[in-house]
Copies of this chain bind each other. A is one copy, B any other.
Amino acid sequence: MTSTMQKGFAFTRLADHLASLAELTDGDLELLTAMPAVIGHFAPHDQLFRKMDQPSRCCLLLQGYLCWKSHDLGQITSIAVPGDIPDLHALLAPRLEASLVALGPAVVAFVPHSFFHEIASASLNLRRNLALVSLAENARLRDWIINLGSRDSLTRAAHLICELTARLRIVGLAKDNRFASPFTQSDLASACAISAVHANRIIQELRRRQVLTWQARTIVINDWQALCRIGCFEPDYLGPRNVAAPRQPVMRAAELGLSALR
């Protein structure tokens, strides 16, 4: 990794990401621009952190992809796209439970934990936004459990590609249904919990069905509708703006003692 010290530009994709979850005020944006960052460049398969590390800085991903990978079994549990802070949870639970690995070349802004603590105390709204980042991750993890548990491998792979595409769009990186895919078929396999050989066969099947092309480290979605259908992907599940709408309590029949009627 090579490092340079910079200040106040790395926040833009993060702002896109946060704004997709809930409004950001001008004051919040102001706070974000003050973000101090050390830029780091990583090569494919570089480990940014290892299991049991206790870093004092968060990684804000600027370019490329990172993943959390269980050290012993090699299972990928989540993939970070630019604008993500994959180790945000380390602010409160400092001991890492897995390794953070670069999928392809990656550029990262290291930001001191103290910065996030500061902006969280300065802005209730940002605090909520950061909490929503964690909840969105939670929703993605649940979705991934459903994917691994209940769907066949073709569906799994298609679903992963759909999810990646949807997230990349949010930060402006999937224009024209085209985005960089510097990761390998084996990486896809590790995420989908299938063998690399089988991953290859599935990608061929997706190509055969003309829903995507994947060459020269670039994926092009040729038929988004079809890919969503194959992947059982509902574009909204990441829950953009699924927040803070005070409503009337919904009284279940059950609560009225009518359980037997259902």
Contact = CB atoms under 8 A, between A and B. Distances in A.
A251 to B, nearest CB: 10
A72 to B, nearest CB: 8
Interface string A185-217: 000000001000000000000000000000000
Contacts of A237: 97
A255 B70 CA distance: 22
B73 A43 contact: no
A126 to B, nearest CB: 13
Nearest to A140: B141
A134 interface: yes
A6 interface: no
B75 A146 contact: yes
Contacts of A38: 255
A93 B242 contact: yes
Given A134-B135, A249-B56, A46 B92 contact: no
Interface string A61-105: 000000010100111011000000000010011110110000000
A75 B135 contact: no
- Among A54, A141, A244, find the residue whose CB has the most chain B CB atoms closer than 10 A: A141
Contact of A1 (B1, B77, B243, B254): B254
A236 to B, nearest CB: 10
B73 A150 contact: yes
Given A54-B250, A93-B239, A237-B97, A150 B259 contact: no
A63 B184 CA distance: 47
A234 B82 CA distance: 33
B146 A255 contact: no
A138 interface: yes
7 contacts: A42-B259, A43-B259, A53-B250, A77-B146, A94-B243, A97-B237, A145-B148
Interface of A: 1-3, 38, 40, 42-43, 46-49, 53-57, 68, 70, 73-75, 77-78, 89, 92-95, 97-98, 110, 128, 131-132, 134-139, 141-142, 144-146, 148-151, 193, 237, 239, 242-245, 247-250, 252, 254-255, 257, 259
